[in-house]
Chains A and B, each alone.
Chain A
Amino acid sequence: MIELKQLEKSYGMVQALKGLSLSVPQGCLYGLLGPNGAGKTTTLRILCTLLAPDSGTVTVAGLDALSDPRAVRLELGYVAQEVAIDKILTGRELLQLQGDLYHLRSSDRNARIDELIDCLGMESWIDRRCGTYSGGMRRRIDLASGLLHQPQLLVLDEPTVGLDIESRSAIWQLLRELCAKGTTVLLSSHYLEEVEALADRMAIIDDGRVIAEGTPDQLKQQLGGDRVTLRVREFSDASEAEQVRQLLEGVDGVCQVVVNRAQGFSLNLVVESEQVLPRLREQLDGVQLPVFALAHSRPSLDDVYLQATGRTLMDAELAVAGQRDAKLERKKAMR
């Protein structure tokens, strides 16, 4: 459904995309995961014909988005991150405007709007002005306007950011059902859980490139090993943690032991399998050390990200949090 090849895009000195390639099969719910500033939004804006790449090719539903953008616009619905809404119009008027821009016949248009009002639960406030809407309401209006012309591809940029849990799970549910009925859905997110819970396939984007691609399970399995988090006491000190680390490193089946300073000197282990757990306990019992907590888990997407970039998604978020240039960002979004 979507083929992006070797996309490059710079904003002045900043290179946002460095040869990004992506392929999304038809009928797939595809997640783009990456920290803020990784290039997700730029990728989606290029895909939606809002932005021309410096180089590379964009194909949507077999159509070349660069030479025939209008044909591509007919096929896709785009739900942007910053919800631009006309505060003076009511939700219904906004949808009517949207329907006219997609050239729906007015009877079809109104029937379709009623349908969406019904299934997105908007009837009680649809005739109020958009300026009075909450974040969740705006997002629903935006979803509705993206779905109005029944596109075969729905593109969503961070669809649930800043939403309450109830709205979020409702949107998840909607996306799943859309996908089940044959719509291809591409969404970007910097929430691990969101991509993990929703996506059939996913790509991890970092620094303008795809660094991992596959189904969430594949990506996790490729890492190999299980994860164990262990604490001997609720609060250990550095020397005790170090002592334990040395003890456990020798245990058969333990691949790696890291002291996690950020979490009260707990120990993060990579082990070959579940069978290693009793051996860990034995080892500690042997030197009279207690076990306060021991948690065992399959590798998570965060581990995938960690493996590929050498930092956790959280660290990557924090690193860019302070250096986002609000002015540049606004300029990027402006035509």
Chain B
Amino acid sequence: MISPVATVTSPAAEQQDQGPFADLVQEILALTRRLFLQLLRRPSTLIAGILQPLIWLVLFGALFSNAPDGLLPGGMSYGRFLGAGVIVFTAFSGALNAGLPVMFDREFGFLNRLLVAPLRSRNSIVFASVIYITSLSLLQSLAIMGTAALLGYGWPGAAGLVLVSFTLLLLVFAFTALSLGLAFALPGHIELIAVIFVANLPLLFASTALAPLSFMPDWLGWLAALNPLTFAIEPIRAAYGGPLDLGAVLLDAPYGGVSGYGCLTILLLVTIGLFLIIRPLLNRKLA
């Protein structure tokens, strides 16, 4: 700092207004870039995020490999059955963690740095998280699907791939919204981690990720048939199961059959519902 300001207030290269939309894109990209730089420089999250589901797939897939044929509906092998569950579970846990970086930004005061800046919309902070988590989840899912294919558990095909991506997008949006809402509602990261910890595994077990409804007692069957994860798992499982027919009943729930379209509609409603619930909270916190 020997020759201080010589140029600090030199005539500004006059800033032409580039329009609100371009501003919005610029700020969202900058915030997203930050999250990806963090990921690349601390790749342990990424590595763990891909390794963990693969371990699930290999170990859990092998667990029932000697079970009698025809045990599962449609005569699927357990590995193939499990694939859909692991994909959904991975995307779900990733999305549930989406609030953590935001929570740390709140706690360390970095969020204040963002909030004194003249952002076009403070929702950009939320969008950046959604873009980041979504890309990450799709990447993880591709890794799982590749591994599942290598293990001989099948590949969904082109139409199936579109269906898988669409389903995962809905699921990731829903739980990212929930997690971001929690990140603004809870007092600190300890509480957020506690909620994630409590929600994570029970939601997995009370879904059709690991076993079909027909294996479960009535009460658990009800829970599983109401669990949003189930509505994501069934279409993806159908994509793995053979010729794709979303009109067919995929979930034989205690309250009646749910078709593939039904599953996707419910998932869409859950997503919209969660966004509507957290919106007032975000508006208040980011006002």
Question: Which A residues lie at the B interface, using CB under 8 A?
Answer: 48-50, 70-71, 73-74, 76, 78, 80, 82, 84-86, 88-89, 93, 96-98, 100-105, 108, 111-112, 115-116, 118-121, 129, 140, 145, 147, 150, 167, 170-171, 173-174, 177-178, 181-183, 330-331, 333-335
Contact = CB atoms under 8 A, between A and B. Distances in A.
B9 A150 contact: yes
Contact of B116 (A48, A88, A121): A48
Contacts of A104: 15
Interface of B: 1-10, 12-13, 15-16, 18, 23, 26-27, 29-31, 33-34, 37-38, 41-42, 106-120, 184, 187, 285-286
A333 B118 CA distance: 19
Nearest to A150: B12
A89 B8 contact: no
Contact of A335 (B3, B42, B115, B119): B115
Nearest to A89: B37
Contacts of A178: 5, 8-9
Given A108-B15, A335-B285, A101 B9 contact: no
Given A88-B38, A170-B1, A96 B30 contact: yes
Given A80-B109, A88-B42, A108-B15, A103 B9 contact: no
Contacts of B34: 86, 89, 93, 97
Contacts of A85: 110
A118 B7 contact: yes
B5 A102 contact: no
B106 A334 contact: yes
Contacts of B184: 335
Contacts of A76: 116
A50 B108 contact: no
Given A101-B27, A167-B1, A108 B112 contact: no
Q: Is the interface of A mostly helix, strand, loop or mixed?
A: helix
Shortest beta-carbon contacts, A-B, top 8 = A100-B30, A84-B109, A170-B1, A101-B117, A177-B5, A73-B118, A181-B9, A84-B110
28 contacts: A50-B116, A70-B119, A73-B116, A73-B117, A80-B109, A80-B113, A88-B41, A89-B37, A96-B30, A97-B30, A97-B31, A97-B34, A98-B117, A100-B26, A100-B30, A101-B27, A108-B13, A119-B4, A147-B8, A150-B8, A150-B9, A170-B4, A174-B1, A174-B5, A181-B5, A183-B9, A335-B106, A335-B112
Given A101-B27, A170-B1, A177-B5, A70 B118 contact: yes
Contacts of B115: 49-50, 335
B13 A103 contact: no
Given A80-B113, A84-B108, 20 more contacts: A49-B116, A70-B118, A84-B112, A97-B31, A98-B113, A100-B26, A101-B117, A102-B118, A103-B120, A108-B13, A119-B7, A121-B1, A147-B8, A170-B4, A171-B1, A173-B1, A178-B9, A330-B107, A331-B187, A335-B286
A83 to B, nearest CB: 8
A103 B18 contact: yes
A119 B6 contact: yes
A333 B8 contact: no
A167 B4 CA distance: 12
Nearest to A73: B118
Contacts of A100: 26-27, 29-30
Nearest to B117: A101
A76 to B, nearest CB: 8
Contacts of A112: 13
Contacts of A167: 1
B80 to A, nearest CB: 40
Contact of A93 (B37, B42, B108): B37
Contacts of B7: 115, 118-119
A260 B41 CA distance: 59
Looking at B41, B116, B187, the one whose CB has the most chain A CB atoms below 10 A away is B116
A120 B7 CA distance: 10
Nearest to B287: A52
Contacts of A108: 13, 15
